[in-house]
Amino acid sequence: MIVSAIDGPRPVRHADLRALRDLAARAFQADGAQPFNDHSWSQLSEGQARVALIHADEKTLAAAAVVTGDEFELVVAPDARRQGLGRRLWQAAVGAGGRLVWAHGGLDEARALATACGAVAIRELLLMQLPHHALLELTDSDAPTRTLPDGLELRTMQTGRDEQAWLDLNARAFAAHPEQGQITADDLAALQRESWYSPDDVLLLWQADELVGFNWTKIAPGPDGRPEGEIYAIAVSPDHSGRGLGRVLMEHGLRHLAESVADVSLYVEADNAPALALYRRLGFEERSRDIHWQVR
């Protein structure tokens, strides 16, 4: 394969998106892990990301790095690996201000590159999946579902009315989370413009006029075109912890997703013992690990 010099880092152009999606699809087919997360795709679609690209030919990418703020992700096409392209892109991304990098899927090649470049692992994020049979058992019409405690109401997102309440609760519930807790009104608006977003998928739990919890579910086409379900973000107000509301939100979210999908996935911090315990009790199984590396 003939590869070009690095194009960038530079602001992403609309014309780059098709080639990036094609590269990501080829990598997913080989690795079973998506190389770029939703935040990167959102920033790419909004024209807010920087990219460093290595072309195999005029229309095809051999490798790419996406830089968003001080974070970056990179991927090398399966047929272009072991040529030093990953290290070249790493150096370009670091030169553009990248200090943190996500490596998705826990791949040996990614771990070797990060270690060789002197990075240190600082976080692990588990991708967990609920198999179809477990989803059916949990959402069967005869399966017990926890009723809402008295005084609580569950409804979907009301566009133009509920956003600030969601932002406030999200910031409080994820105060220690370096990404989720930092979501701004602009970030939320960008997510609401994504093709997969629907306000009907965002379940909000209210006590009078106080938002006490939410389960943001996501339904989007998978690599094979079939819809896939995800617990995109779930939280309970710190003021209402210990009431079993997380389980209530999970059960209602799973019932909602079961109407459209066969499998459900979610991401959780590897050191979040209470959440892991709940998800495992529900039948979720670990599928892969994403590792967050810090450049030294």
Q: Write down the pLDDT at residue 55.
A: 95
46 in the same domain as 184: no
Partners of residue 217 on adjacent β-strands:
231
pLDDT (average), residues 242-250: 93
**Among 12-16, 172-176, 177-181, the least confident range:** 177-181
Q: What average pLDDT does the chain have?
A: 93
Of 14-23, 49-58, 65-74, 136-145, the range with the lowest mean pLDDT is: 136-145
Secondary structure letter of residue 162 according to DSSP: S
pLDDT at residue 235 greater than cutoff 70: yes
Q: In which band, very low, low, confident or very high, does the pLDDT at 2 lie, cut at 50, 70 and 90?
A: low
Residue 79 structure tokens = 């047929």
Radius of gyration of the chain from Cα atoms? 20
**pLDDT at residue 186 in the model:** 93
The residue among 84, 118, 152 that closes a domain is 118
CATH code of 229's domain: 3.40.630.30
CB 248 within 8 A of CB 276: no
What is residue 143's predicted lDDT score, i.e. its pLDDT?
A: 60
Residue 295 forms part of a structural domain = no
Query: Is 79 contained in some domain?
Result: yes
Q: Show the domain range for 73.
A: 7-118
Copy the structure tokens of residue 73.
Answer: 């992700």
Calpha distance 267→102 (Å, rounded): 14
Whether residues 145 and 258 share a domain: the answer is: yes
**17 and 162 part of one domain:** no
Tens digits of residue pLDDT in 82-136:
999 999 999 999 999 999 999 999 899 999 999 999 999 999 999 999 999 999 9
- Are residues 179 and 86 located together in one domain of the fold? no
Which whole number is the average pLDDT over 238-256?
Answer: 94
- Cβ pair 247, 146 in contact under 8 A: yes
In a domain, 276, yes or no: yes
In the predicted model, what is the mean pLDDT of residues 129-151?
84
Amino acid 140: pLDDT: 82
Confidence of residue 142 (pLDDT cuts 50, 70, 90): low
58 shares its domain with 144: no
Both 139 and 281 in one domain: the answer is yes
Q: Which residue has the higher pLDDT, 259 or 5?
A: 259
Query: Does residue 294 form part of some domain?
Result: no
Interval 33-73: pLDDT, tens: 999 998 999 999 989 999 999 999 888 999 999 999 999 99
pLDDT recorded at residue 112:
96
Q: Both 175 and 53 in a single domain?
A: no
Asked if residue 254 and residue 137 are part of one domain, the reply reads yes
Instruction: Say whether both 67 and 151 belong to one domain.
Output: no
Residues 243 and 162 in one domain: yes
Please give the average per-residue pLDDT across 5-18, as a whole number.
Answer: 90
User: What pLDDT is recorded for position 145?
Assistant: 63
What percentage of the chain reaches a pLDDT higher than 90?
84
> What is the DSSP secondary-structure string of 192-247?
HTSTT--GGGEEEEEETTEEEEEEEEEEEE-TTSSEEEEEEEEEE-GGGTTSSHHH
Q: Note the pLDDT of residue 52.
A: 96
pLDDT given at position 87: 96
- Structural domain includes residue 34: yes
In the chain, the number of structural domains is 2
Domain end, chosen from 73, 98, 118, is at 118
Please, which pLDDT band fits residue 1 given cuts at 50, 70 and 90? low
Q: Which residues of 173-200 are buried (b: 16+ CB within 10 A; e: fewer)?
A: bbeebeebeebeeebeebbeeeeebeee
Select from 55, 64, 43, 48 the least CA-distant residue to 11.
48
Checking if the pLDDT of 148 tops 90, the result is no
pLDDT of residue 231: 98
Instruction: Answer for the pair 267, 133: CB distance below 8 angstroms, yes or no.
Output: no
What pLDDT is recorded for position 110? 95
What's the mean pLDDT in 204-223? 96
Query: Which pLDDT belongs to residue 3?
Result: 61
Residue where the block lists tokens 């899927």: 105
Average pLDDT on 24-32 reads 94
CA 69 to CA 116: how far, in whole Å? 23
Listed residues 92, 118, 144: the one ending a domain? 118
